[in-house]
Amino acid sequence: MLAQDTLRRAGIEQADAVAAVTSSDTLNVVVGHIARTVFHVPNVVARDYEPRWQGLYEAFGVQSVGPASWGAQRLEEVLSGGIRTVFSAGNGEVEIYEVTLPEAWRGRRLHELASCEGCALVALTRAGKAVLPTPIASWKPATSCT
């Protein structure tokens, strides 16, 4: 009850978002969970210090961000050569990536880019102009992403 009183004094009942950023992973998860389930705050994120507690955040349905996970994601982006995450929803179940294609891809068909199950092209940008890709009715995705 003490935590809920503190959150009320902080104005949670009018909040559109909550960032739980104390020095305690367990407190951050509890605050995030209370914000989401008791006060129905639509946007909740909690800072995580220890990657080993990621399962706790997931069990309570609280999106987390921390130096270890952010650093690992950034390293992956840098080392993957032209792929970077531009949007992530939930706990990473849905992600949008920006991919810079090498010159070797010049002239290839657009449907060759998303040849995996569960992948979809959402936009194509050339010379600074973005367009929505045209769906290909006969195209069947492969069974795994590569």
DSSP 135: P
Q: In this predicted structure, what is the pLDDT of residue 144? A: 44
Structure tokens at 127: 């010379």
Q: From the first residue on, what is the mean pLDDT of each consecutive set of 10 residues in the chain (146 residues)?
A: 80 92 90 92 88 82 79 62 75 76 77 67 83 63 45
* pLDDT for position 33: 92
Cα→Cα distances 27→20, 45, 133, Å: 8, 13, 44
Spell out the residues 6+ positions from residue 43 whose beta carbon is closer than 8 angstroms to its own.
Answer: 16, 17, 18
Which residue ranges make up each domain of the chain? 2-69
Do residues 95 and 121 lie in contact, with contact meaning Cβ atoms separated by under 8 Å? no
Superfamily of domain 2-69: NAD(P)-binding Rossmann-like Domain (3.40.50.720)
Q: How many residues does the chain have?
A: 146
- Exposure string over 51-81, b if 16+ CB within 10 A, otherwise e: eebbebbeebebbbebeeeeeebeeeeeeee
What pLDDT is attached to residue 40?
A: 94
pLDDT of residue 74: 64
